[in-house]
Every structure is written in C-alpha cells, then in structure tokens.
Structure 1
C-alpha cells in the first residue's frame, strides 16, 4: 500500500496483490492435499484454514500442531 499512496505507483498493488492471491490459493490447495495424504481430521483442516487468514497464524499452527 505505501507504493500506491506514498510513491503513487498503483500498478504495483496489482502485481503484488496478484502474487499474494496466487500464493494464498496454493496454500489452500496444499492444505487439502496434505489433509488427504496424512488423513487429517476435519478439525485439523479447519484450524489450518482459519490460521491462513489470521496474520502469522500459520507460524503458530506449525509450532503447535505440525512439529513432532
């Protein structure tokens, strides 16, 4: 957003936003693939999905649920 409002480069928001969206969809697809492969419960999948929309939530999930 600073690129758009401070340096008046609105086209960069589109580029960075597109990359962010593609990476987010990749994360969701990967979560479903792992859900199927590792036979996660629906609760674990739901927690992983919810964590994906909370800032830095994925780091918490990795530490709390996904490390041995």
Structure 2
C-alpha cells in the first residue's frame, strides 16, 4: 500500500518538525560543549536563538495544521507536547505521516 501524498499543510508541518529537531540537536551539542567540556559557548550562542525561533515556528505550524487538516484534539495536543522534550517532533511527524494525519482528509 502506498502512502498518501502530503498536503501543503502536512509538508509544512513535516519541515517544521525537522527544523525543530535539528536545532534541538544543535543546542544540545552546544550545551555539552559549554557546560560539559567547557570549551566554547559558540554552539549555544548560535543554536539558542535558532531553536527558539524554530520552536515558535513549530508551535504556530502545529496549530495551523490542526485547523487546516482537521486533526482531532488529541493530535494537536500530542504535536504541541512533542516540542518540549528534545528530538520528539521528528518521530511524531513520522507517526502522523504513517497514520495519514498529514495528508488531505475527506470533508
């Protein structure tokens, strides 16, 4: 069985989830370098603001996708909670893709 194509809102959500995950990973490495090895603060200085912007972008896109793709309330809540722990937005996006939440939904 082939997967349904993603809707434009689904593609936007997938991109936002990926960007949020990548900036989380960068911030974690930056914090390791700053606080763990005490070698540099550059990673935190770069990825801190990037991740802050990516987090806000992901939240806005999640709310947009909820309305546009007519997600059930539980899906919107899962998407929003996924932004809090590190690197959870990517597996949530993969799960939503697999169960069809990122594709066009019948009216």
Residue number in structure 1 paired with 2:81: 50
Q: Counterparts of 1:35 and 1:27 in 2: how far apart (Å)?
A: 12
RMSD, matched Cα: 1.8
Q: Counterparts of 2:97 and 2:48 in 1: how far apart (Å)?
A: 28
User: Scaled by the length of structure 1, what TM-score is found?
Assistant: 0.74
2:46 corresponds to 1:15: yes
Q: Counterparts of 1:60 and 1:16 in 2: how far apart (Å)?
A: 21
Q: Counterparts of 2:74 and 2:84 in 1: how far apart (Å)?
A: 16
Residue number in structure 1 paired with 2:57: 26
Residue number in structure 2 paired with 1:61: 92
2:76 corresponds to 1:35: no
1:29 to partner: Cα distance: 0.6
1:65 to partner: Cα distance: 2.3
> Which one has more relative contact order, counting CA pairs under 8 Å at least 6 apart?
2
Gaps of 5+ in 1: none
